[in-house]
Amino acid sequence: MPDTAIQSPAAPLTVLSDDELLFRQNVRQFAGEKVRPLAREMDEKGVFDKSLIDHFFQLGLMGIEIPEQFGGAGGKFFEAILAVEELSRADASAGVVVDVQNTLVNNALLRWGIAEQKKRYLPRMASETVGSYALSEAASGSDAFALQTRADLHGSDYFLNGRKLWITNAKEAGIFVLFATVNASAGYKGITAFIVEKNTPGFTVGKKEDKLGIRASSTCELILEDCHVPKENVLGEVGKGYKIAIETLNEGRIGIGAQMVGVAQGSWEYAAKYAQERKQFGKALTEFQGVQFQIAQMATEIEAARLMVYNAARLKDASMPFVKEAAMAKLFASQVAERVTSLAIEIYGGVGFTKDFPVEKYWRDSKIGKIYEGTSNMQLATIAKLVMGK
């Protein structure tokens, strides 16, 4: 589908600078030319095309905020959000690969890594190595700090034992920001973040989950059996991993909001174009007021979600409070994505329910937005706490 086929509810020009507009256009062009043609095949096979990851690195999309001295683009968080949105417009799996790399892993290394860690890992993250963020376990989903993976210090090494579940990018990743407890009796105050490399003895990537949506994105189990991690690979302070987890996820939620905006946008474009072409009772679907109103409502909600996401990202870049805005953006964008993609299928009618047309994939991809990096109920709990002052 040509990107210029219909009038798209894109962000107002006043929202973006000239440099940001150019950046967005470049990512959009790349996504249309390289990502979209592979989206269906990757979804069916459940495998992300390695050539795309190579392109991500070549374009600087995997190290957007990493300073130029470490080989990164030296950009802003807002640019990472634009990249996630535009990639997700073509394929949500592509969006989440770049999202986890930038908003979670790189972010954690930049904010809490010591000089030696930054020098060692950031050039790799910018040029060749995919990152993954390993927090969740079987017994710790929304209750993230109920994790049971242990880290016991013996001499100069920590020995990690446990299992992580639902870890995004696990199959492709070479570096993991992984959370374990050094003292289970201390509760969340025992949680510590570690930098773990894939080739570390005792570390194994387990089975890949067979998912409803974002199927090309790898979601795997991690198995740690006396996994040797040197003390110098502790990220931040021992026992302060909970702070890293909370603060990185706050920023990561803006990225998921951007992913959902992209998903909604992509499905809207297909549905609006199809409605122009499909004829019933002798006229195009767009000549029926009921369909016009559906398309207009979808476009309005997408624009509202986009501006909420952009606002949260701008606040983060300005070092202003943004936790409430991030939670609201993720909550609303995920709701919009689910509604818009569902309506897109209905506009297509029966063929929209088949895999011969792209809208059913957008709908499947949208569902995860209400679940990962904090469920909708967790976002509501955060919002309620902040708006009520409790």
- Could you tell me the two tokens for 106? 């790189």
Of the candidates 25, 27, 174, 3, the one whose C-alpha atom is nearest the C-alpha of residue 94 is: 27
Question: How far apart are alpha carbons 94 and 99 in whole angstroms?
Answer: 9
d(CA 253, CA 323): 9
**Tokens 């040029």 found at:** 127
Tell me the sheet residues that pair with 228.
Answer: 159
Q: Distance between CA atoms of 56 and 129, rounded to whole angstroms?
A: 11
User: In whole angstroms, what is the distance from residue 349 CA to residue 354 CA?
Assistant: 10
Tell me the C-alpha distance between 187 and 147, whole Å.
Answer: 9
- Classify 133 in phi/psi space as left (phi over 0), alpha (psi -120 to 50) or beta: beta
H helices within 91-186, ranges in order?
A: 92-99, 107-112, 115-127
Give the three-state DSSP class for 168.
strand
Q: What does residue 178 show for φ and ψ, rounded to 5 degrees?
A: -120, 140
Q: Cβ-count burial of 266 within 10 angstroms (0-12 exposed, 13-18 middle, 19+ buried)?
A: buried
Is 53 strand, coil or helix?
Answer: helix
Task: Please say whether the beta carbons of 266 and 134 come within 8 A.
Answer: no
Task: Kindly give the interhelix angle for 359-366 and 92-99, rounded to the nearest 10 degrees.
Answer: 40
Distances (CA, A) of 327 to 64, 75, 97, 168: 23, 23, 21, 20
R_g over Cα of the chain: 21
CA separation for the pair 18, 211 (Å, rounded): 39
Residue 160 and residue 196 in contact, taking contact as beta carbons nearer than 8 Å: yes
Question: Could you confirm whether 221 is annotated as catalytic?
Answer: no
259: phi then psi, degrees, rounded to nearest 5: -60, -45
**Looking at the annotation, which residues are catalytic?**
373
